Each structure stands twice: as structure tokens, then as C-alpha cells.
Structure 1
Amino acid sequence: MIGLKELHSFISYIQLERNYSSLTVKEYEKDIEQFLGFLNLEGVEHLNDVEYVHARLFVTNLYDTKLARTSISRKISAIRSFYKFLHREFNISEDAFHSLYHPKKEVKLPHFFYEEEMDKLFEGNKGSDPLSIRNIALLELLYATGIRVSELTSIELLHLDLNFGIVRVMGKGRKERYIPVGDYAIKAVEDYLENSRSTLMKKTSHSTLFVNSRGEPLTARGVRYVLNEMMKKASIHTKIYPHMMRHTFATHLLNSGADLRSVQELLGHSQLSSTQIYTHVSKEHLRKTYMNAHPRA
């Protein structure tokens, strides 16, 4: 297959020099390998021989597979970045991608929980056993900070300062940020550290904050399982995924009058446009409230 040597150089570049996360690196590598495989089938013998028609046909094939527009856009970005690197390092033309447009984004409003649902979720999962204590602490911290599940599972004990109510997380692009933690979450985490974590740890020894029933660091998959079990226990018949807590955090802040820039900072968004989707959610919430409450709506 053509381009494997150049691909390996590019992957080293984004890993070592650009500090991309391991997940992003894997996605880029997979996307570019798919494109190189396509070029191989098209009989293209060198990366410099790629023309606009090849790039356009590749994207057309992606549409034919019913791939989501966001996934197609990500693949285009990965290949463009690859060719910019090739142009700089190997003097390979990137002209084939200059006229290639990203597909229009599908505007999907993020799902979130209403405050009544959150209350029900907390109430339905109270308990004094180690796992219940851990689950409440996990839920409280997700709701209090709006952090990503990858950030949650990476928190170590030294990243927490419960006296000042602050947690340090490493976000996308290895960007570090400090997030305030509210009283409910502080008390729940203190309860977990005092009455649950050491019991769950058993004979294991590490500094990761949240652990599973065997004392091992809790994974992203484990967090999804925990949240699903909490939903069942609270008898809430709605699908849940970890990012919903992030959506809920942002939506509730904006509904209560928080400014967009502050929410952007708390979420760790590099672009304000990423945060603005939550203003649409807030407006939709306001519209529904009006339609349900106004006698002549």
C-alpha cells in the first residue's frame, strides 16, 4: 500500500510534536489508512499523483455508506492535515484538497436531564454499601464539573483539593484546567474516600480516584455500566451515556443565568461555537415551558 512510510512519519509528528491524545491519533491513523486503501484500489501509485477527482470520489463513497456527516468531516480534516504535513516535509502537493468542502453539520440538540430527573437519580441510588457510595460520588462529580468521562477516569488523588473545592483535569490536546467542585460533590467524594475506596481497593495499590469492585482503575466502559445500572435502580426509563451529564451540567448552568464564556471555560472548549449549542437547548427548554404554561400558547 502506498504512503505507509509517510503515514508513520505523520503519526510520530502528531504524537510527539503536536501532543495529540492517543484516541485522536488512533482516529487519524484509521481515517488515513482508509484513504490510502482507497487510493490503492484506484491504482494511484504515488501520493503526489492524487487529484481532486480522487478526493471527491473518496468522499462520495463515504456518503454511499450512510456515514454520519460528522464522521465524514473528521476524515476530511485528518486527510487534509496529513497532506499539509506531506507538503511541508516531502514537498507533495496538497492541491487536491483545496476545493474539498466539509459537509454541513447536522444540528442535533444534545440530550440532558431535567433537575427533577437528576433528583430522582440521586435519591434512587442512595446506599451505605461501598459501591453505592462510590456511584453517588461519581455521579455528583460528573454533574458538578461537566468533565468528560476520559477526564473522570484519569483523575488521581493528588488532582483533588477538597479543602478548596477544586479538581485538576487533563482535557483534549493535553490542556490542563482547574474546575470548582460544589459542596454536594465534595461531601460525596469525601464519603467515598473515607468509607468506600479503601474497602474496594483490597490488595491493590494505585492513585486513580475511582475504582471498580476489584479495586482496579475504573474505565470509561465501566463508567457507562455504572450509569446504566443507576438508571435502572432509580426506575428512570431513559437512555443514558456519560456525555449526557456534561450536557446537563452546561444546560443547567445556562438556564440559571451563567454566561457563555464561563461555561466555555469550565467545559474546556477551545471554540465558543462548541458551547453555543447549549444556548439552543436553553431556548428550546424556555419555549417548551412557555407552551406548557401560557393559557393562550
Structure 2
Amino acid sequence: MSEMRLHDTQGNRLYLNAEERAAFLAVARRQPARDRTLCETLHWTGCRPSELLEITPARIDLSGGTIAIRSLKKRQDAAGRQKTVFRTVPVPPEFLDTLNTAHGIREAQKSRRKATAPIWDLSRVRIWQIVKRIMIDASIPDAPHRSPKGLRHGFGVHATVQGVPLHMLQRWLGHAQLSTTAIYADAVGKEEQGIASRMWGKC
């Protein structure tokens, strides 16, 4: 498995910074309901597109304020058998209201058939196209970070800057090893300035 990084071999950033994340969210909120909720889910949970496609109404906890996401990276138990791992990620109540209004989550949860049907009936390629279009509209530069992976990495960097403990971020992102999550502690640029400013304020 290749090592996860925040920069490619040419030194290009692989994550969206704070300004780019805000611009992406602003443009996403002007989109039709399906595209808006799809993009907001990626923004607020840091999930992978393949994981997003598995989210059903049954995995939305409207009262608890979380979304349950199945980690699709292969995991094995002590006996070497593949195991299923779910993680719950907290999301803003305003977003859950939007999700419920757009997709009738609460009503769908009353029917077993509807509750277990995917919310977004799309392919991974289509998700990539939607995200890329919105990133272009948000004036995010044509660079390696203009992708769904850049959005996921941006979530990790943002959480680290905001002081989210690495073990908690590890759980939210579905990393098997804390050492993988630790790359976000290497945030740079304005993100690193934000971390440093806290240190300066305590001198």
C-alpha cells in the first residue's frame, strides 16, 4: 500500500485549504438538491465517494446528529477473516435538516425497503464529475487537490487545525492506523499558521 501524503512528488498540495473548502460549500449550496446534499455530505464527513454511495436513510440518525458510514477499506479480524466496520460521524443539525427535506429521510426510515435503499443512485465517476464541476465553479485551481480526495484531505487538515484529537479524527475518517491520520498534523501554509497562532498567543 502506498503511503498517504498531503503533497505529491512535485510538492503540489493534495488537500483543499480553508478558503477553498468554504468556496466549494458556498457553490454546492446553490445546486439542485441531489448535488447539494451529495457535496455537503462529502464536505461534512470526509467520506470517500464509494462510501457515500452506500449511505442509506437507515444510517442517518436525525436525533443523534450522526451519519453511519461503512469503511470500505479491507479489514481483517484476528482469524484473518474480512470484517465489516462502521463509523459514525457527527454533522451539523442544519445539514441534517437539509438532507431530510431533500430526500425525505424521516419518512423513508418508516419503510424497510426505502430505509435500506441508497440515497444517491449514482456511479463513482458521476460523483467525481459533479464534485469537479462545483470545484471549477468555486474557482479552485486546476491542480492535484481539485478532486474528491482533495476534499477528504481538506476535512482532515481542517479538523486538525480546529483541535480535533487525532484518535477521534482517525475514527471519523475510518483509518485502521493512527499513523495514517497523523499526516494531518503536518498541515502547512495558512493551516499551519493557524496552529502556530495558538502557540504565539500563549507566549
What TM-score, normalized to structure 2? 0.72
> Given the alignment, which residue of 128, 131, 139 partners 1:235?
139
Q: CA deviation at 1:108?
A: 5.0
- List, as ranges, runs of 4+ consecutive aligned residues in structure 1 with deviation greater than 6 Å: none
Partner Cα distance (2:125, 2:192) in 1: 34
Partner residue, 1:111: 14
- The 3 A distance-change label for structure 1 pair 108 and 233 is closer
Partner Cα distance (2:164, 2:127) in 1: 28
SS in 2 for 1:124: helix
Partner residue, 1:98: none
Q: CA deviation at 1:188?
A: 2.8
Q: CA deviation at 1:283?
A: 7.8
Partner residue, 1:266: 172
Specify which structure has the bigger relative contact order, considering alpha-carbon pairs within 8 angstroms and separated by 6 or more residues.
2
CA contact (8 A) 1:224 1:242 kept: yes
CA contact (8 A) 1:251 1:282 kept: no
1:100-129 superposed Cα distances (whole Å, 9 cap, x missing partner): xxxxx59553622222222222223443xx
CA contact (8 A) 1:150 1:220 kept: yes
2:191 pairs with 1:285: yes
- The 3 A distance-change label for structure 1 pair 142 and 256 is same
2:127 pairs with 1:223: yes
> Given the alignment, which residue of 82, 102, 123 partners 1:192?
102
Map 1:114-193; keep pairs closer than 5 Å. Answer: 114-127=17-30, 132-171=32-71, 172-173=73-74, 174-193=84-103
CA contact (8 A) 2:4 2:180 kept: no
Count of residues in Structure 1 that have an aligned counterpart in Structure 2: 170
Q: CA deviation at 1:284?
A: 7.7
Give the gaps of 5 or more residues in structure 2: 8-12, 75-83, 109-115, 197-203
CA contact (8 A) 1:165 1:180 kept: yes
CA contact (8 A) 1:133 1:191 kept: no
1:251-277 superposed Cα distances (whole Å, 9 cap, x missing partner): 111101111111111111111110011
Task: Tell me which amino acid in the other structure corresponds to 1:275.
Answer: T
Q: Which has the higher helix share?
A: 1
Asked which structure has the greater CA Rg, the reply is 1
Partner residue, 1:208: 118
1:49-74 superposed Cα distances (whole Å, 9 cap, x missing partner): xxxxxxxxxxxxxxxxxxxx93xxxx
CA contact (8 A) 1:166 1:178 kept: yes
CA contact (8 A) 1:136 1:188 kept: no
Q: CA deviation at 1:180?
A: 1.5
1:183-214 superposed Cα distances (whole Å, 9 cap, x missing partner): 242133123215xxx9xxxxxxx81111xxxx
Q: CA deviation at 1:140?
A: 1.4
CA contact (8 A) 1:155 1:209 kept: yes
Identical-residue share of aligned pairs (%): 25
SS in 1 for 2:55: coil
What TM-score, normalized to structure 1? 0.51
CA contact (8 A) 2:18 2:191 kept: no
CA RMSD, Structure 1 to Structure 2 (Å): 2.9
Partner residue, 1:6: none
Partner Cα distance (1:262, 1:190) in 2: 26
- The 3 A distance-change label for structure 1 pair 180 and 106 is closer
